Amino acid sequence: MAITPASPPVSGDRPARIIGLLVAALLAPLPFLGDLRVAHGSYLALVTSATLLLYIAHQVLGRRGIVPTRRTIIGIALLLRLLALPMLPSLSDDAYRYLWDGRLLLHGINPYLHVPADSSLSRFHDELFRRQGYPTTNTIYPPGTQLVFAAGMAVSELVGSEYMVGYYAYKLMAIAAEMLGIILAIAALEKLGIPLRHILLYAWHPLAVVEIAGQGHTDAFWVLGLAGGLYGYACGGLGGGLGALAFGGGMRLYPLPLLALWFRWLDRRTVIAGAVLAASSLLLLGALLDPDVLRTYSTVLGRFTNFYEFNGGFYYAIKGWLDYRHIKPSNVIAGNVCTGTHLTLLLGILLWPLRRRTVEGLAWRALLITTVQIVLGAKVHIWYFTAPLILLPFISGGYLRKAWLWAALAGPFTYLTYMSSPPRELTEILMIEWGGFLLLAIADGIAGAIRRKPPTMIDDDELSVSSD
């Protein structure tokens, strides 16, 4: 299905390159600031300025009908990520846990069956052990990413160097996966006739650059799964995208519910081919079939998704009301309410009647499911926001666009939590972040209802940042 832009594209390589280089200039100092939790003022100033520049530039390019070439988009995206590569994991200690898990697996130890503080692992209790988080909690990361972690540490041990070599080796793999996702998204947008300018809101977004290339989060594989899924559906390859989604699920779990959505969208012949590819990719999850591993993993997964609290907008609202009413245990009840709401909405989105099997309709429902997965969590880290950002270019104006762009702008301010000792979340930041998200989501919904235009066709003017 081809979707024609509302106005003829204008060559925009030079202005687009200038914008990209300005974003790069703003983000380039980040690796030299040291601990970004300490240098939070400089970090927030640079990232916020770069994000606002990108949003304004995207709007200006749209109003002038300027469409950058794929070469410029990919080149600047790669430059931004290479500039962020030297960054240390100062905003999050997750990367150290990746390396810890990878080292255990590399030495034949099942990371799912041992907490880091286990006395049987005393020979590994070195600087890496002290840096990784959750020493008394089993790992949460799926088997697919465990293999990537082990590959990174294998590079480190191969050259006889310390674990930081493994950190950079792993990050290069994550960057490669994310760049492949960007390339597949661009190819899908070209196939659909959607102006490539819209992919800038992911490819050049400071949040994506910092959180994946800078901090090394595994959401690179989530992004790759989503982009590959949409590319496969739009272009008729990769089993309609099922294989790519299953691969993403083996690496990050979140894309797994989307498999049911894709099954509904595909014709019988494509579903059969896709199911074969998906089954092959899901072999990555084979390690979880061990009863002991499955029991341990499901227990820690339940804790992380319901009762480990951070930046949980809806969860905090429910928990706050329960605390106000003196209803205990508020955290358990709020977690169960969120989980129940999540499952109910997920089922409703999956079963909602189909009108037209368009790429945008598929991307729209994928965005709804992804939004439910993120917003209803008790622990919501801002690197999760990269997944909605990669879906936005495929969806017409409104319909959560402004809400997610706002979240990606305001999200970095959650790092102000670490200004105090012990860390303390700031209610004002939470209200600004999630209150703004809710208001913009409602505004987009009202505007869409007034237009009475379901998301089945992308209008070039609608896709600008400030449009309704």
Given the DSSP bridges, would you call strands 66-67 and 10-11 parallel, antiparallel or unpaired? parallel
Whole-number Å distance between alpha carbons of 80 and 26? 10
Long-range contacts of 408-411 (CB under 8 A, 24+ apart): 408/51, 408/205, 408/207, 408/382, 409/48, 409/51, 409/52, 409/55, 410/436, 411/207, 411/382, 411/385
Whole-number Å distance between alpha carbons of 23 and 18? 9
Residue 462 has pLDDT above 80, yes or no: no
Say if residues 115 and 137 touch (Cβ distance below 8 Å).
Answer: yes
Whole-number Å distance between alpha carbons of 423 and 414? 11
Q: Which amino acid is at 222?
A: W
Closest by Cα among 394, 327, 326, 402 to 365: 394
Listed in sequence order, the residues at least 6 apart from 458 whose beta carbon sits closer than 8 Å to its beta carbon are 3, 192, 194, 360, 394, 395, 396
Whole-number Å distance between alpha carbons of 130 and 124? 10
Q: Which residue has the higher pLDDT, 184 or 308?
A: 184
Q: Answer yes or no: is 265 within a domain.
A: yes
Segments forming the whole domain that contains residue 200 = 10-91+168-451
Percent of the chain exceeding pLDDT 90 equals: 73
What's the distance, CA 166 to chain centroid? 23
DSSP state of 329: S
The average pLDDT across 216-235 equals 96
- Strand-pair partners of 379: 310, 311
The average pLDDT across 271-297 equals 87
Q: Answer yes or no: is 34 within a domain.
A: yes
Q: Answer yes or no: is 144 within a domain.
A: no
Q: Answer yes or no: is 137 within a domain.
A: no
Exposed/middle/buried for residue 234 (C-beta within 10 Å: 0-12, 13-18, 19+) = buried
Q: Answer yes or no: is 329 within a domain.
A: yes
Q: Answer yes or no: is 116 within a domain.
A: no
Whole-number Å distance between alpha carbons of 133 and 100? 10
Number of H helices and E strands in the chain, helices first, is: 20, 2
Confidence label for 268 from pLDDT (cuts 50, 70 and 90): confident
What was the pLDDT predicted at 397?
A: 65
Say if residues 43 and 36 touch (Cβ distance below 8 Å).
Answer: yes
Whole-number Å distance between alpha carbons of 177 and 396? 26
**How confident is the model over 372-416, as pLDDT tens digits?**
999 999 999 999 999 999 999 998 766 799 999 999 999 999 999
Q: Which residue has the higher pLDDT, 423 or 89?
A: 89
Q: Answer yes or no: is 420 within a domain.
A: yes
Residue 436, CB-side half-sphere exposure with 13 Å CA sphere: 16
DSSP state of 308: S
Least confident piece of the model among 88-102, 228-242, 381-395: 228-242
Whole-number Å distance between alpha carbons of 417 and 289? 38
**How confident is the model over 6-46, as pLDDT tens digits?**
445 555 688 999 999 999 999 999 999 999 999 999 999 99
Residue 328, CB-side half-sphere exposure with 13 Å CA sphere: 1
Give the length of the chain.
Answer: 468
Least confident piece of the model among 74-88, 299-313, 447-461: 447-461
- Please write down the HEC assignment for all residues of 346-406: HHHHHHCCCCCCCHHHHHHHHHHHHHHHHHCCCECCHHHHHHHHHHHHHCCCCCCHHHHHH
Q: Answer yes or no: is 284 within a domain.
A: yes
The average pLDDT across 310-318 equals 92
What was the pLDDT predicted at 465?
A: 33
**How confident is the model over 158-217, as pLDDT tens digits?**
998 889 999 999 999 999 999 999 999 999 999 999 999 999 999 999 999 999 999 999
Closest by Cα among 129, 176, 139, 168 to 152: 168
Q: Could you give the number of structural domains in the chain?
A: 1
What was the pLDDT predicted at 464?
A: 34
Listed in sequence order, the residues at least 6 apart from 145 whose beta carbon sits closer than 8 Å to its beta carbon are 98, 218, 221, 251, 252
